[in-house]
Amino acid sequence: GNSVTQMEGPVTLSEEAFLTINCTYTATGYPSLFWYVQYPGEGLQLLLKATKADDKGSNKGFEATYRKETTSFHLEKGSVQVSDSAVYFCALSDGSGYALNFGKGTSLLVTP
């Protein structure tokens, strides 16, 4: 079945540090890949997506590239801010149904 594996958190970084959150997946066919973000006390919001191999999704300074050869979709940001503190979820859809498969989430804390 489909599954998503994310790096364990929490991740603690100083402001302006470089961020990488690893995500790998297992799926049949050609899934679409997503990063969702959950700020404290809120629901999830779509951060970025990529629907085919080699696509790069980007938003708010975050980016992730769909790598079919390594089955990965790592999230990166060049310079994090305190306001980026949140939980980040990698997710996939294989297009065969309506469900998204979520990873377990990675908590990020950015300190001043």
Partner 1 sequence: NAGVTQTPKFQVLKTGQSMTLQCAQDMNHEYMSWYRQDPGMGLRLIHYSVGAGITDQGEVPNGYNVSRSTTEDFPLRLLSAAPSQTSVYFCASSSLLAGDFHEQYFGPGTRLTVT
Q: What residues line the site for partner 1 (CB under 8 A)?
A: 4, 32, 34, 41-46, 49, 89, 93, 98-100, 102-105
Are 33 and 25 contacting, i.e. CB atoms less than 8 angstroms apart? Answer: yes
Which is nearer to partner 1, 80 or 105 (by Cβ)?
Answer: 105
Question: Which CB atom, from 1 or from 112, has the smaller least distance to partner 1?
Answer: 1
| Closest to partner 1 by CB, 49 or 74 | 49
Pick between residue 18 and residue 46 the one whose CB is nearest to partner 1: 46
Strands (E), the chain: 3-6, 11-14, 19-21, 23-26, 32-38, 44-50, 56-59, 62-65, 75-77, 86-93, 101-102, 106-111
- Per the listing, tokens 């297009």 go with 95
Q: How far is the CB of 4 from partner 1 (least distance, A)?
A: 8
Residue with tokens 């969702």: 36
Least distance from partner 1 to the Cβ atom of residue 90, Å: 9
Least separation in angstroms between residue 111's CB and partner 1 is 23
HSE toward the beta carbon, residue 97, CA cutoff 13 A: 7
